[in-house]
Amino acid sequence: MEKAGLQPDEAILLSKPSNIFYVSGYTGEGIALLAGDLCAIVTDFRYTEQVTRQAPGFEVFEIKTGQSHFALAAEVLAAHGVKAVRFEADEVTVARFDKMKQDMPGFTLTALKGEPEQVRRIKEPEEIACIRKACDISCKALANLLPRLKPGVSETDIRLDLEFEMLRLGGESLAFNTIVASGPNGSLPHAIPGSRKVELGDMITLDFGAKFGGYCADMTRTVAVGEPGAEMKKIYGIVLKAQQTAQDALHAGVPANSIDKIARDIIAGEGYGKYFGHGLGHSVGIDIHEDPRLSPTCQDILTVGTTMTVEPGIYVPGLGGVRIENTCVIGETASETLVTAPKELLIL
Ligand code: ZN
Ligand code: ZN
């Protein structure tokens, strides 16, 4: 990864599972070491074979009973002439940093400035293929669920049904905890599915995603069970317009906050500005939430190959809510959505 920029006596020590997976393909516990002539995973007995299977290009070093990962890392790095170690400041706790200092005496320890995450922003074609597959699985799971969305079914049942479908269709795990918000619960952007049963005329917000090949899908659809009320229908139309217009404008070379503004202006123009209190979207990859963000404050210039969700919403306490979300890949002059499920209001 960053090895080209390293001094001969410098190493990177990775603790963050998503960064370790990115450089090596390994998903177990332990730390990764990268230096000029070294790619290594330091782990314990339980994972040694897993490293050789998942990360064949990496040497594996197994700690002895009572030995810390840092102590073994110090031995390995010293043998490679390393004197300076860079670590992830946003991952290593104060307690772990104290341990690192204690078990790696003589090394100069300095914090990385998010360089691994910077590299991860631009997805390789193989990474996009995994996210596309994760989105396909998620869309199929929704299609299978829809005939069973009826009055009397609880949010918990819907959640279980949707998650079972994602796993049955080849999702290796869930990208995050599924959100199911029915009727008035829809005003909670991150509602936890509960015992409430769907009633005729409810809108139901479903925010979910499968994981495939280590990569996350993220999508939201809001559907109606029976004819919804006039205001909810109107809100749906506004959110749909905001989502489509912002997604159509998403392309490389523009600042992230300019895309957020497009959706925010549409919603505010209809008088619902104060009911859209979160950012328009976020990047997605190995982690469900990655940088950059489509938010009023993010001025990063968008780049080709960055994946981005576009997810405006309107949440009215006491009434309900609507959110529509696609995961997209940014191209030179346009973006492509990896979520192919229809967005028009579906009345079941
Ligand atoms: Zn989502
Ligand atoms: Zn999202």
Mark the residues whose beta carbon lies below 5 A from ion ligand 1.
Answer: 207, 218, 220, 325
The CA 34 to ligand 2 mean position distance, Å, reads 32
CB 290 within 8 A of CB 90: no
Mean of the per-residue pLDDT values for the chain?
97
Over 304-336, what HEC string results? Answer: CCCEEEECCEEEECCCEEEECEEEEEECCCCEE
The CA 25 to ligand 2 mean position distance, Å, reads 24
Average of per-residue pLDDT across 191-208: 96
Average of per-residue pLDDT across 42-54: 98
Please, what are the domains in the chain? 10-120 (3.40.350.10), 125-337 (3.90.230.10)
The CA 258 to ligand 1 mean position distance, Å, reads 21
**Confidence tier at 6 by pLDDT (50, 70, 90):** confident
Q: Percent of the chain at pLDDT above 70?
A: 99
CB 324 within 8 A of CB 240: yes
Average of per-residue pLDDT across 312-333: 98
Is residue 293 pLDDT above 70, yes or no?
yes
The CA 81 to ligand 2 mean position distance, Å, reads 44
Ligand nearest to C-alpha 288:
2
Over 150-199, what HEC string results? Answer: CCCCEHHHHHHHHHHHHHHCCCCEECCCCEEEEHHHHHCCCCCCCCCECC
CA-nearest of 23, 158, 16, 147 to 87 is: 16
| Prediction pTM value | 0.95
Structure tokens at 67: 């030995």
The CA 328 to ligand 2 mean position distance, Å, reads 11
Mark the residues whose beta carbon lies below 5 A from ion ligand 2.
Answer: 218, 309
